A and B are shown apart, each in its own frame.
Chain A
Amino acid sequence: GDSVTQMEGPVTLSEEAFLTINCTYTATGYPSLFWYVQYPGEGLQLLLKATKADDKGSNKGFEATYRKETTSFHLEKGSVQVSDSAVYFCALSVNSGNTPLVFGKGTRLSVIA
């Protein structure tokens, strides 16, 4: 079945450090790929998405490129801030809207000033 494997944390970085959170997927068909962020005590917010190969999603300084050849969608940010501390989830959808997202296990990021 479809699955998402992402780097397990926790990840602790100093402010202004470079961030990479790895995410790979297995899917039948051509999935859309997403990164969601969850701040403490809150629901999930869509951070960025990509719907086809070579698409780059970007938002708030975060980027991820849909790599079909490596079945990957790694999340990157050049300079993290304390406010980026949260849990990040990689997810995929094969049939948008009608089937639930398939989530990775989540990666907890802590950024220290």
Chain B
Amino acid sequence: GAVVSQHPSRVICKSGTSVKIECRSLDFQATTMFWYRQFPKQSLMLMATSNEGSKATYEQGVEKDKFLINHASLTLSTLTVTSAHPEDSSFYICSATPPGAHYGYTFGSGTRLTVV
């Protein structure tokens, strides 16, 4: 149990376009999901906390207008990278956990974004 599905796994887009990444909890409801960014050979950097039915909480230094997060249902959160630029190229990972349990956080398989 506790599966998180993330799509797409890889995406290449042109500079100036927008890209949407989906994160779904397949077998549990997640009121909270987390979005991370990972640079090559580095640890995960928390970008924002996605809260179902309310606005996301962004970490300091993360542009909320560039990285739009929507958590419209208990099983789906989306991250949209708007007006993407080459410096937005990175590995993006989402995470969630079943509420009220110490199962450990489950991570999506990640999305490799390349902006050309």
Interface residues of A (CB under 8 A from B): 32, 34, 36, 41-46, 49, 51, 89, 93, 96-98, 100-101, 103-106, 108
Interface code B32-63, partner A: CB below 8 Å = 1, 0 otherwise?
Answer: 10100000011110100100000000000000
Q: Given A101-B95, A105-B43, is A46 in contact with B105 using a C-beta cutoff of 8 Å?
A: yes
Q: Given A42-B109, A104-B43, is A32 in contact with B102 using a C-beta cutoff of 8 Å?
A: yes
B44 touches A97 (CB 8 A): no
B107 touches A43 (CB 8 A): yes
The interface residues of chain B lying within 8 Å CB-to-CB of A105 are 42-43
Give the distance in Å from the alpha carbon of A105 to the alpha carbon of B45 in the complex. 10
**Count of inter-chain pairs, beta carbons less than 8 A:** 54
A96 touches B102 (CB 8 A): yes
B110 touches A42 (CB 8 A): yes
B16 at the interface (CB under 8 A from A): no
Interface code B97-111, partner A: CB below 8 Å = 1, 0 otherwise?
Answer: 111111011111110
Which chain A residue lies CB-closest to B44?
Answer: A103
Which chain A residue lies CB-closest to B106?
Answer: A46
Which chain A residue lies CB-closest to B105?
Answer: A101
Give the distance in Å from the alpha carbon of A4 to the alpha carbon of B110 in the complex. 23
Q: Which of B32, B43, B102, B109 contacts A43 (CB 8 A)?
A: B109
B75 at the interface (CB under 8 A from A): no
Q: Given A43-B107, A43-B109, A43-B110, is A97 in contact with B46 using a C-beta cutoff of 8 Å?
A: no
Give the distance in Å from the alpha carbon of A98 to the alpha carbon of B42 in the complex. 24
Which chain B residue lies CB-closest to A4?
Answer: B43
The interface residues of chain B lying within 8 Å CB-to-CB of A51 are 102
The interface residues of chain A lying within 8 Å CB-to-CB of B85 are none
Q: Which of B49, B101, B108, B112 contacts A96 (CB 8 A)?
A: B101
- 28 pairs of residues in contact across A and B, judged by CB atoms under 8 Å: A32-B102, A32-B104, A36-B107, A41-B112, A42-B110, A43-B93, A43-B107, A43-B108, A44-B44, A44-B93, A44-B107, A45-B107, A49-B104, A51-B102, A89-B44, A96-B97, A97-B32, A97-B99, A98-B32, A100-B49, A100-B95, A101-B34, A101-B95, A103-B43, A104-B43, A105-B42, A106-B42, A108-B41
